[in-house]
Chain A
Amino acid sequence: MTTAAAKPVTMAQALQRAMRDAMAEDPTVHVMGEDVGTLGGVFRVTDGLTKEFGEDRCTDTPLAEAGILGTAVGMAMYGLRPVVEMQFDAFAYPAFEQLISHVARMRNRTRGGMPLPLTIRVPYGGGIGGVEHHSDSSEAYYMATPGLHVVTPATVEDAYGMLRAAIASDDPVVFLEPKRLYWSKAQWSPDAPTAVEPIGRAVVRRPGRSATLITYGPSVPVCMEAAEAARAEGWDLEVVDLRSLVPFDDETVCASVRRTGRAVVVHESNGFGGPGGEIAARVTERCFHHLEAPVLRVAGFDIPYPPPMLEKHHLPGVDRVLDAVARLQWEAES
């Protein structure tokens, strides 16, 4: 029993609390990025941190993503734990050379002599009516780079726990924040204990017996809704929230697919060369004899992210997930 009354907390507030708690506990944690200080971030995720910890701990940087990440590398070399914000998904691209050529490799290059405890926060994905370069899902690029952890929360509780774990990690973590879930809420008691577990484990969000929906981040609520809707069709769907794309939790995913015999991977980034292809291949390699149907993918179209007035046609919604589930009746079709 907690003493204080529970109240609604948004994902953005949970992320902010994670940074505040980490900064309070560990003086080496530094938050930095464009607009993270006085403004509190364009999504207010860093609201109040400069006021509480000063400009040296939560710093408004010049507008330069490579510079933000590159200087954070040097700060991490000197024993700090930088938490950098890349404001919007597509704004992170100028920092890719630093990310791929240095952040991901520094531990390996120096045989463990120079690990980089860095967290790179990237608000990602669509569904908020953003104009061009404000809605990309870039996770496949990050996943393709050994040396990076790539994680993405889907719930308010995970947003807190996973960001704490990312900041505590001795390895660089690309922390993808599904920005259309920033305002999703959970009832939270202010003094409730908040779980921090090591990153790398998927969770079963909803148990089921007839098929598994494998998903993450912004597509988790879509899959939960689809699972509810599918009950009417006689489908009892299990929903696995990956939470961590790297490392990938083969165990939880494959255990689920072996139980259900059918799987659909759901994400909003494009399908070709996207995370779903890797996931479907892994599942097929490990669970072939348990599968009653091919592993299907429901993804965004293979197009540059569309303008906001068309994004509803691009983003995989409940109906597209249900269509895929219907196609899992493989024996009947073949």
Chain B
Amino acid sequence: MTVQELPGDAAYRPTPPPAWQPRTDPGPLLPDPEPYRVLGTDAAAAVDQELLLRLYAELVRGRRYNAQATALTKQGRLAVYPSSTGQEACEVAAAMALEERDWLFPSYRDTLAAVARGLDPVQALTLLRGDWHTGYDPHEHRIAPLCTPLATQLPHAVGLAHAARLKGDDVVALAMVGDGGTSEGDFHEALNFAAVWQAPAVFLVQNNGFAISVPLAKQTAAPSLAHKAVGYGMPGRLVDGNDAAAVHQVLTEAVERARRGGGPTLIEAVTYRMDAHTNADDATRYRGESEVDVWRAHDPILLLERELTRRGLLDDRVRNAAAEAAETMAAALREQMNADPVLDPMDLFTHVYAERTGQLREQAAQLTAELDAAADAEGEAR
């Protein structure tokens, strides 16, 4: 007797389950097991010469920026600096994959991406100098504030991309996060929302090996961070993060796909943080010099120089021009950062609410009185 022929109450007759159908074909979503490479492969020949030269100039400038900013921490001009030395290819290629109307959602380590996108180098360091939290108008540059909590900027990127699409604008949001950030709940929620809404968002994970001191092996058991994409129903891409041409190509494809309405992509760029987490960290406690040496041989600038040399593009003129531009930027940065910023204490109350509350008016009056008293005391002392 089959289920359908059972006598009695129809309510007890179970509905046969429908045949299971996966919602999406995971095949096309899966990343290739090997990080995608261009430099040093046959694919390099197809890369535009102008692009290679632009990437080179930006990488050299970025490396110099990291060195200068680190030096500024030693002089007490910056409270802290999380260097992206070794990761410049990710930073620069990510910024260069965006159109002007697109938005960048950086993490605290992505100052360089913001600068490569055209942000004034001094404005990019305001947070780290400590004169204010964000030194630029996010709308003017379409760069969200450098985000200190991990992965919390990713849902913002999804929401902005979604809103732009609702308004009919072909704007893409690129959100950057580190390998440690992929363990945060907001990473999961952002990717899930993006996939469900088919938001024009691109997620770039810079897997630089360590979350401060915790290595990737203790961060995740996934085959790769790019594999996480499959669970959300979006394609995952694995790319050599030190190969500027490869990063640029993968990012550009993902951005264009998002712009066409193809939905989000998760990209893992495998790279390495050559410096410590910040100037305040001691990397020798958790990694050996031999490991760093392996990556030193795979330096993003070196990889690009090899390709340029192979093509006969890296002459002294190109080298010197890149070095000089980097030096000019560093000198200007040094000079501007050596000037003490002039701060208005009353700014404390200016942007808490659109209109000051009664409580803040009282507190502003209190501070004004304190400042006046201090000025009077100083005047009398003279």
Contacts and interface: CB of A to CB of B under 8 A. Distances in A.
Nearest to A106: B145
Given A66-B186, A74-B155, A246-B357, A79 B137 contact: no
Given A77-B160, A78-B163, A97-B152, A147 B353 contact: yes
B358 A248 contact: yes
B164 A78 contact: yes
B25 interface: no
A146 B162 contact: no
Interface in A66-96: 66-67, 69-80, 82, 94
Interface residues of A, number: 49
Chain B contact-residue range equals 35 or more
Nearest to B132: A111
A170 to B, nearest CB: 5
A71 B158 contact: yes
A71 B136 CA distance: 22
Contact of A66 (B140, B155, B173): B155
B21 to A, nearest CB: 20
B137 A110 contact: yes
A112 interface: yes
B40 interface: no
Given A67-B190, A74-B157, A74-B163, A101 B152 contact: yes
Given A64-B193, A77-B159, A147 B352 contact: yes
B192 A111 contact: no
Contacts of A200: 357
B256 interface: no
A102 B152 contact: yes
Contacts of B144: 77
Given A250-B358, A251-B358, A74 B134 contact: no
Given A79-B163, A247-B359, 16 more contacts: A66-B185, A67-B155, A67-B186, A70-B152, A70-B154, A74-B156, A74-B173, A77-B159, A78-B160, A105-B133, A109-B134, A110-B137, A113-B137, A115-B354, A171-B354, A250-B358
19 contacts: A66-B185, A66-B186, A66-B189, A70-B154, A71-B190, A73-B155, A74-B157, A74-B161, A78-B163, A97-B186, A98-B155, A105-B133, A107-B352, A111-B347, A111-B350, A113-B139, A115-B354, A247-B357, A247-B359
